[in-house]
A = this chain, B = another copy of it.
């Protein structure tokens, strides 16, 4: 399958390129960027030198639509809402990694503080939480945010099965600094970031509404969550610690069984053994989402720990998993490798 990448020079785009380069059924036919063009992308990225050379071109939607069967958009918020339209119009496979098609018009404009895409396009987008997609026949996927992926995969079995008090969900999510993207800022300046930890956007992160929207698909009683986002001094990874009050009697064993059943046949979610919690490094550079949990009967609280690589399962890897599902490829095609450890 011939694919194009728009926004190839950000961290998400580069990770698409790294992963698709190994995909047995995909050929990258064009790379595009709004900000820079060159006859060879490896001029900008020495890690690509000799192993990957390709023109980085302007965006010519007609040409892309002619040459490619699928297009990935890995552009900042506010760009894809227009850039994606010609590809949706012609019925190509489209996967957008930004937040532009994840929300209703009203929510998008509130949380992103930008004009939303037209409803006609928003309505066509399928939210691509790959393990729990409703509609596999869609051609237009809105790929989830990194925090949303970790949170939703961690909560899905509980919420679907009515095991959670609806008003009790607390997510303490920590992210590596690559989640802030490739543009330097005071928050990503090494002397400020190293040996530090920072909490930002308490209850205000733009991934909150997409999380609530999906949780409400599973349990309409959920209305709000407590959601904190912190930066920790690692490059890659999301570590989400989730606390919920159990509804009804339960136990750690019962919950682990529920999770194992819920994720049976879903190759990228790995449920840990009892009393074992996943660590960031066990998923580095891979598409795995690892989950551990326990129930505390003294407080009636369940704690769930979820780890992903934000650039893979939280972005490029899940996008490819979604392509695999759309295209009828094996779900793990191009993604079936061992994480990089140590």
Contacts and interface: CB of A to CB of B under 8 A. Distances in A.
Interface stretch (A64-72, A104-112, A293-301): A293-301
A177 B184 CA distance: 14
Interface stretch (A31-39, A123-131, A196-204): A196-204
Interface in A269-283: 270, 272, 276-283
A197 B237 contact: yes
A186 B184 contact: yes
Interface string A283-294: 111101010101
A25 interface: no
B234 A233 contact: yes
A239 interface: yes
Copies per complex of this chain: 4
A14, A46, A193, A336 — which one has the most chain B CB atoms within 10 A of its CB?
A: A46
How many interface residues does chain A have, given as a range? Answer: 35 or more
A282 B48 CA distance: 8
Contacts of A279: 46, 196-198
Contacts of A188: 184, 189-191
Given A167-B299, A193-B190, A11 B241 contact: no
A18 interface: yes
A114 interface: no
Given A51-B336, A170-B170, A303 B202 contact: yes
Contacts of A190: 177, 188-190, 193-194, 233, 235
A282 to B, nearest CB: 4
A174 interface: yes
Given A182-B189, A226-B303, A341-B45, A197 B277 contact: no
A21 B338 contact: yes
A301 B288 CA distance: 32
A63 interface: no
Interface of A: 11, 14, 17-18, 21-22, 45-52, 167, 170, 172, 174, 176-178, 182, 184-186, 188-200, 202-203, 223-226, 228, 230, 232-237, 239, 241, 243, 267, 270, 272, 276-286, 288, 290, 292, 294, 296, 298-301, 303, 305, 307, 336-342
